[in-house]
Structure 1
Amino acid sequence: MSTAEKNPIWNIPNILTLLRIALIPALAVLLLSPSRDAGFWAAAVFAVASVTDWLDGYLARRMGIVTIFGKFLDPIADKLIVMAALIMILPFGRVQAWMVLVILGREIIITGLRGIASTEGIVIAASDLGKFKTIFQIVAILGLLLHYDYHWLFGIDNPYFYVNMHNVGMFYLWIATIITVWSGVDYLAKFMRVIVR
Structure 2
Amino acid sequence: MNLPNKLTLLRAILVPFFILFFYLEQVPGNYIIAFVIFAVASFTDFLDGHIARKQGLVTTFGKFLDPLADKVLVVSALCCFTEKGLMSAIPLIIIVAREFMVSGLRLVTANEGVVVAAGIWGKLKTAFTMVAIVAILLFCCAGVTEKFEVISDVLIWISTALTVISGGVYLKGYWKYIDTDK
TM (norm. structure 1) is: 0.81
> Counterpart of 2:179 in structure 1: which amino acid?
V
Q: State the Cα distance separating 1:165 from its structure 2 match.
A: 5.2
State the partner residue of 2:83: 91
Q: State the Cα distance separating 1:146 from its structure 2 match.
A: 2.4
CA spacing shift, 1:30–1:196, aligned 2, 3 Å: same
The correspondence for 1:196, drawn from 173, 176, 179, is 179
- 2: CA distance, partners of 1:149 / 1:64: 39
Q: State the Cα distance separating 1:194 from its structure 2 match.
A: 4.5
- 1: CA distance, partners of 2:24 / 2:139: 13
Q: State the Cα distance separating 1:170 from its structure 2 match.
A: 2.6
The correspondence for 1:15, drawn from 6, 11, 19, is 6
Q: State the Cα distance separating 1:118 from its structure 2 match.
A: 0.7
- Count of aligned residue pairs for this structure pair: 176
The correspondence for 1:170, drawn from 145, 153, 168, is 153
> Counterpart of 1:191 in structure 2: which amino acid?
Y
Q: Which has the larger radius of gyration?
A: 1
- Identity across matched positions, percent: 41
CA spacing shift, 1:144–1:34, aligned 2, 3 Å: farther
- 2: CA distance, partners of 1:99 / 1:109: 15
- 1: CA distance, partners of 2:15 / 2:113: 32
| Conserved 8 A contact 2:32-2:141 | no
* Structure 2 residue ranges without an equivalent (≥5): none
| Conserved 8 A contact 1:28-1:88 | yes
* Structure 1 residue ranges without an equivalent (≥5): 1-9, 151-163
Q: CA RMSD in A?
A: 2.1
Q: State the Cα distance separating 1:64 from its structure 2 match.
A: 1.0
SS at match of 1:31: helix
- 2: CA distance, partners of 1:63 / 1:90: 39
The correspondence for 2:170, drawn from 179, 183, 187, is 187
TM (norm. structure 2) is: 0.88
Note if 1:122 corresponds to 2:105: no
Q: State the Cα distance separating 1:148 from its structure 2 match.
A: 4.2
Describe how 1:104-115 pairs up with structure 2 within 5 A.
104-115=96-107
SS at match of 2:29: helix
Structure scoring higher RCO (CA < 8 A, sep ≥ 6) equals 2
> Counterpart of 1:178 in structure 2: which amino acid?
A
Q: State the Cα distance separating 1:167 from its structure 2 match.
A: 4.0
- Structure 1 residues 36-87: Cα deviation after superposition (integer angstroms, max 9, x where no partner): 8222221111110011000000111121111111111100000000011111
CA spacing shift, 1:136–1:54, aligned 2, 3 Å: same
Describe how 1:55-70 pairs up with structure 2 within 5 A.
55-70=47-62
